[in-house]
Structure formats: C-alpha cells, structure tokens
Amino acid sequence: MQDVVLLDLKKGKNQLLVKSNNHYQKEACIGISTNVVQHIYIKKLEPVIFRKGEYFPVKWKLNNPVTPHQTLHLPNLRIKFE
C-alpha cells in the first residue's frame, strides 16, 4: 500500500508525525521519500461574478478516463477562488 501526501511546508522548521499500526506483527516498515515528483496544475478561468445566495456548480473530472469510475488521484486537491 502506498499513499502520497503533499505537505504544505512553511519556511523554517516543519515537523511530521507518522502514526502507523503494524497489526501485531514483529516489525513495521515505514518509508518516507522526498523524491516524489510533484505536479502543480493551474488553469486561468474567465472572470465569474458571484452573487450572494446564488448557486454556482463546479465540476472537476478527468478528460477521457479509462472507466467512468477512475479517480483523479489528487488527495490534496485544492480549488482557490481569489
């Protein structure tokens, strides 16, 4: 099993706490790699006027997925409105 987590690190000292369960085995193997390729995708959108009390649906999906159930594999997805 492998989980990839993007950490929002700040300048200075950062700490990481890893909690794991070895399921009562004699040893537990944990590895942290700092060489994981990270991609940041940015797309500029046309301006949208938001009005109080109105609903604005947003869809985020893969382009031509292999199956309709394929996920984005973006556990740290963040949409930012400025």
Per-residue pLDDT of 14-39, as tens digits, reads: 888 877 778 888 887 777 777 877 77
Report in angstroms the alpha-carbon separations of 73 from 6, 59, 69.
Answer: 12, 16, 12
Average pLDDT, whole number, for the chain? 79
* Sign of the torsion angle spanned by Cα atoms 60, 62, 65, 67: negative
Contact predicate 32/5, CB 8 Å: no
Whole-number percent of the chain with pLDDT over 70: 91
